[in-house]
């Protein structure tokens, strides 16, 4: 039988022991059954050791360093992350990068994505950009009274619209 | 829509046991995906979640790979129905507890489930019986691509698929296998194995309680990192780690049989006795006893056909499923009585374990 170890959170007898090595650093967590349940350790779907590891890290500096950060898309701020352990929206990754980037380096094998791409999403994105480009050019052509150019641009826009229609975007 | 249709159909976990790899109960892969234009579910307003739910239900229900799916809104399910889906690994505790705008789509064979508005907008999951990580990846990859044909995913070239929790960003992929490791538990090697496996960035989840086999000696082995490694590499690495653990488990079983055969036969015999003759059985006792019966099937001490029975009983002995048998909500003691009674029934025709072929 293993020697008795106390829970890292409440000091009761720990029965759940987890170890993970991230980038060569050993992280060990010992929890009692109550705290393990509370942290979702016993729920095979909802638990990630990395959450536990990051939630306790650098708490004191955390707020001071990231005081002025906020996601302009969704209003999410670093203190919300401290509370929820999750981000507000996809744009948070850019808008709160100074907070998120060091965490990612700590949690993962690398800092950039390797693997599958959402092909259709990317194609649609490119075509949206193209569309807004043409629209801007069209606006300019109209303002400068270059009507022949404007007609051409309008045709291009129509054609693009038809293509998008067939790809059935939601 | 109720979950009755799901319960009537043959399920991947309850009807498909394979002897090819007795140590691996099941393989699971999940992908975390989000829609580009919405806040993550934990930060979204109710109306936004409803919009996401509507869009996702519409798109996912049309995917050809998922045949005759059941599309369910969690807020329309009874507590007991949620519990049953949870016990079958088809929804998470979190989805069950936060029903606002939450939904799930489950394929008829229960091998694929897609949770909507859990931690992420979409949690696509594929479960296979036995060890089939590659097959699971191929399947989930195609399901994911079909969904993405109609929905814009949140994605960045640099960080990959963007997820509510930074621990999932990148591939959004978590691959796992549920392993049955009584040999390593009995021989006290589990902790050592966990340490070794962790060095490879692979996590082991399980409760190492007093006596250590408190959870039926089941352990879930999964990748922890999602950024900086491709899906194929994650799956390959996990596969090789699982291969090593299987070897260790086989080794441990052999050694236990050599050194302490009476001890292990005694455990199996007692488990058989309790399951066949008990009148009160908690779910954790049932899990532990069934775990030993499963080990005995691996030893050839029970007929191979009984593996299916045991694997089904692992799920049916859970509190929700016991109440399903009772057709109503019943208290703890009544559950223990009923559980013992259907175990007696299930084991009535199972012959006594035979160990002669092992001791020779």
pLDDT tens digits for range B262-305: 999 999 999 999 999 999 999 989 999 999 999 999 999 999 98
Tokens matching residue B344:
């007696």
Chain A residues within an 8 Å CB radius of B224: 20, 22, 48-50
Residue A59 confidence (pLDDT) above 80: no
Chain B residues within an 8 Å CB radius of A84: 42-43
Residue of B nearest to A86 (CA): B165
| Percent of chain B residues past pLDDT 70, beyond the cut | 92
What does the mean pLDDT of chain A come to?
78
Given 3-state DSSP classes, what are the helix, strand and coil percentages for chain A, each rounded to the nearest 5? Answer: 50, 10, 40
Q: Is the dihedral of CA B132, B135, B138, B139 positive or negative?
A: negative
Question: Angle formed by the axes of helices B133-150 and A119-143, to 10°?
Answer: 20
pLDDT band per the 50, 70, 90 thresholds, residue A15: confident
Interface of A with B in 85-124 (CB under 8 A): 85-90, 93-94, 100, 103-104, 107-122, 124
> HSE of A136 in the Cβ direction (CA atoms, 13 Å)?
6
Please indicate whether, in this complex, the C-beta atoms of A116 and B231 are within 8 angstroms of each other.
Answer: yes
pLDDT band per the 50, 70, 90 thresholds, residue B68: confident
Please indicate whether, in this complex, the C-beta atoms of B162 and A85 are within 8 angstroms of each other.
Answer: no
Tokens matching residue B102:
């939450």
Segment A19-47 shows an average pLDDT of 60
Backbone angles phi, psi at B89, to 5 degrees: 65, 25
Please indicate whether, in this complex, the C-beta atoms of B170 and A113 are within 8 angstroms of each other.
Answer: yes
Please indicate whether, in this complex, the C-beta atoms of A122 and B141 are within 8 angstroms of each other.
Answer: no
Please indicate whether, in this complex, the C-beta atoms of B229 and A18 are within 8 angstroms of each other.
Answer: no
pLDDT tens digits for range B208-256: 323 334 478 999 899 999 999 999 999 999 999 999 999 999 999 999 9
- What is the spatial distance between Cα B55 and Cα B149, in angstroms, rounded to a whole number? 13
Residue A7 confidence (pLDDT) above 80: no
pLDDT band per the 50, 70, 90 thresholds, residue A106: confident
Residue A44 confidence (pLDDT) above 50: no
pLDDT tens digits for range B1-30: 567 776 666 666 665 555 567 899 999 999
Chain A residues within an 8 Å CB radius of B233: 114
Chain B residues within an 8 Å CB radius of A101: none
Which residue of B167, B172, B188, B208 to mutate against A (max A Cβ within 10 Å)?
Answer: B167
Residue B191 confidence (pLDDT) above 60: yes
Return the higher-pLDDT residue of A125 and A118.
A118
Q: Specify the range with the lowest mean pLDDT, choosing from B19-28, B131-140, B177-186.
A: B19-28
Measured from the Cβ of residue A98, the count of other Cβ atoms closer than 10 Å reads 12
- What is the spatial distance between Cα B270 and Cα B263, in angstroms, rounded to a whole number? 11
Q: What is the pLDDT of residue A52?
A: 55
Tokens matching residue B306:
């009984």
Return the higher-pLDDT residue of A136 and A3.
A136
- What is the spatial distance between Cα B193 and Cα B217, in angstroms, rounded to a whole number? 14
A4 part of contact set with chain B, CB < 8 Å = no
Question: Angle formed by the axes of helices B332-347 and B231-277, to 10°?
Answer: 90
- What is the spatial distance between Cα B324 and Cα B87, in angstroms, rounded to a whole number? 12
Please indicate whether, in this complex, the C-beta atoms of A74 and B162 are within 8 angstroms of each other.
Answer: no
DSSP code of residue A28: E
Q: What is the pLDDT of residue B328?
A: 84
Q: What is the pLDDT of residue A46?
A: 42
pLDDT tens digits for range A145-166: 999 999 999 998 888 877 766 5
pLDDT tens digits for range B52-67: 999 999 999 889 888 8
């Amino acid at each position: 039988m293993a020697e008795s170890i106390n829970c890292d959170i409440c000091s009761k007898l720990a029965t759940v022991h987890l170890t993970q090595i991230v980038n060569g650093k050993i992280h060990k967590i010992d929890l009692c059954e109550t705290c393990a349940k509370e942290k979702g350790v016993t729920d095979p779907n909802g638990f990630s050791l990395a959450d536990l590891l990051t939630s306790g890290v650098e708490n004191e500096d955390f707020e001071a360093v990231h005081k002025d950060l906020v996601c302009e898309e969704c209003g999410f701020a670093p203190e919300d992350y401290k509370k929820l352990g999750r981000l507000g929206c996809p744009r948070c990754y850019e808008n709160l990068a100074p907070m998120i980037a060091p965490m990612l380096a700590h949690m993962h094998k690398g800092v950039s994505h390797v693997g599958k791409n959402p092909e259709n999403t990317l194609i649609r994105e490119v075509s949206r950009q193209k569309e807004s480009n043409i629209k801007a050019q069209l606006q300019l052509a109209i303002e400068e009274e270059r009507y022949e150019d404007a007609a051409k641009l309008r045709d291009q826009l129509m054609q693009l619209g038809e293509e998008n229609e067939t790809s059935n975007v939601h | 829509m109720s979950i009755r249709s799901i319960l009537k159909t043959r399920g991947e976990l309850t009807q498909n046991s394979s002897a090819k790899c007795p140590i691996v109960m099941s393989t699971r892969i999940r992908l975390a995906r989000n829609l580009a234009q919405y806040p993550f579910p934990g930060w979204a307003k109710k109306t936004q979640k409803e919009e996401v739910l509507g869009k996702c239900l519409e798109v996912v229900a049309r995917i050809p790979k998922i045949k005759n799916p059941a599309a369910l809104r969690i807020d329309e399910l009874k507590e007991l129905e949620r519990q049953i889906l949870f016990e079958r690994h088809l929804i998470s505790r979190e989805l069950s507890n936060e029903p606002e705008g939450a939904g799930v789509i489950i394929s008829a064979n229960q091998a694929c489930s897609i949770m909507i508005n859990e931690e992420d907008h979409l949690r696509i999951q594929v479960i296979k019986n036995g060890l089939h990580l590659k097959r699971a990846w191929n399947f989930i990859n195609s399901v994911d691509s079909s969904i993405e044909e109609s929905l814009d995913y949140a994605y960045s070239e640099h960080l990959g698929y963007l997820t509510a929790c930074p621990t999932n960003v990148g591939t959004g992929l978590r691959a796992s296998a549920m392993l049955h490791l009584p040999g390593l538990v009995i021989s006290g090697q589990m902790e050592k194995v966990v340490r070794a496996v962790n060095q490879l960035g692979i996590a082991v989840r399980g409760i190492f309680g007093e006596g250590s086999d408190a959870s039926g000696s089941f352990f879930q082995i999964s990748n922890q990192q999602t950024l900086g490694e491709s899906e194929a590499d994650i799956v390959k690495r996990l596969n090789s780690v699982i291969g090593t653990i299987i070897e260790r488990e086989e080794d441990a079983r052999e050694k236990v049989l050599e050194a302490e055969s009476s001890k292990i036969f005694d455990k199996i015999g007692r488990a058989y006795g309790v399951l066949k003759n008990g009148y009160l059985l908690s779910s954790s006792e049932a899990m532990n006893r069934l775990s030993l019966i499963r080990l005995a099937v691996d030893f050839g001490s029970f007929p191979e056909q009984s593996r299916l029975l045991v694997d089904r009983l692992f799920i049916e002995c859970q509190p929700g499923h016991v109440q399903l048998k009772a057709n109503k909500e019943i208290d703890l003691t009544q559950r223990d009585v009923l559980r013992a009674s259907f175990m007696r029934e299930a084991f009535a025709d199972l012959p006594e374990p035979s160990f002669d072929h092992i001791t020779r």
